Amino acid sequence: MSDKIPPFFSAGNFQKLCDELAFSDADLGFVINTYGYPPMWSRPNTFESLVHIILEQQVSLASALATLNKLKEKIGEITPEGVLALNDEELRACYFSRQKTVYVRHLAEALLNGVIDLDNLATLSNDEIRLVLNRLKGIGDWTVDIYLIFVLQRSDIFPVGDLAAVNALKQLKKLPKETSKEDVLATALLWQPSRTIATMVLWHYYLSVRRKG
């Protein structure tokens, strides 16, 4: 086990962390006062959760969920063995692109061959997890960030590759659209050590404004 595991959030401290951010940042306070607390999004540490995150890469959440549900209809419980038993045509019928077919199969093989172990991942530091997962085909920093946030509930992650979070930050902070990645990250630094919770507030703001519009 790593001795560098960073703090995580839970249902027990989530609203308290939101309140602390609202107190220290008036813009996040505005979101919570206007739209309420964000949902505490979470997923179990399973193969299915990682498949779901891979499916969410560069598509809408609704599209990814439709693909995941179609796969569930086909094989029931989503396991590495179940996915590897399907041929290209069967996965295509579940709305898998050629690229995501490759990624999910590679992940399934890595789990079955012991290249990665999800229980062990949970004992590692954020940087160690990133090193392990980035070695897998199709898993980049955004996928790792979402895994750290949703699955492992690490409390200080800002997914700079997430357009919804970045656009919400720019809108809330009244930053120009052309604001650089470096400046976005510098702004997010102000929310340490609770950048994950700030991200959830940003997502909540983004979704609430869209619903209202």
pLDDT number for residue 69 = 98
pLDDT number for residue 211 = 86
Integer CA distances (angstroms), 212 to 35, 56, 59, 204, in order: 11, 24, 22, 12
* Average pLDDT, integer, range 83-91: 98
Q: Classify domain 47-151 at the CATH topology level.
A: Endonuclease III; domain 1 (1.10.340)
The pTM assigned to this predicted structure is 0.94
Domain with CATH 1.10.1670.40 in the chain: 14-41+157-212
- 2, pLDDT greater than 60: no
Q: Classify domain 14-41+157-212 at the CATH topology level.
A: Endonuclease Iii, domain 2 (1.10.1670)
pLDDT tens, 53-86?
999 999 999 999 999 999 999 999 999 999 999 9
Hunting for tokens 């990645």 — which residue is that? 181
- Distance separating alpha carbons of residues 89 and 24, to the nearest angstrom: 53
- 33, pLDDT greater than 90: yes
* Average pLDDT, integer, range 20-31: 98
Known catalytic residues? 162
First to last CA, the chain: 47
Q: Which residues contact 17 (CB under 8 A, 6 or more apart)?
A: 9, 155, 194, 197
Domain with CATH 1.10.340.30 in the chain: 47-151
Hunting for tokens 């979470």 — which residue is that? 42
Integer CA distances (angstroms), 90 to 51, 55, 66, 67, 138, in order: 16, 16, 15, 12, 20
Q: Taking a C-beta distance cutoff of 8 angstroms, is the pair 161, 169 a contact?
A: no
Integer CA distances (angstroms), 174 to 98, 166, 201, 212, in order: 39, 12, 16, 19
Report helix, strand or coil for 154.
Answer: strand
pLDDT tens, 104-162?
999 999 999 999 999 999 999 999 999 999 999 999 999 999 999 999 999 999 999 99
pLDDT number for residue 210 = 87
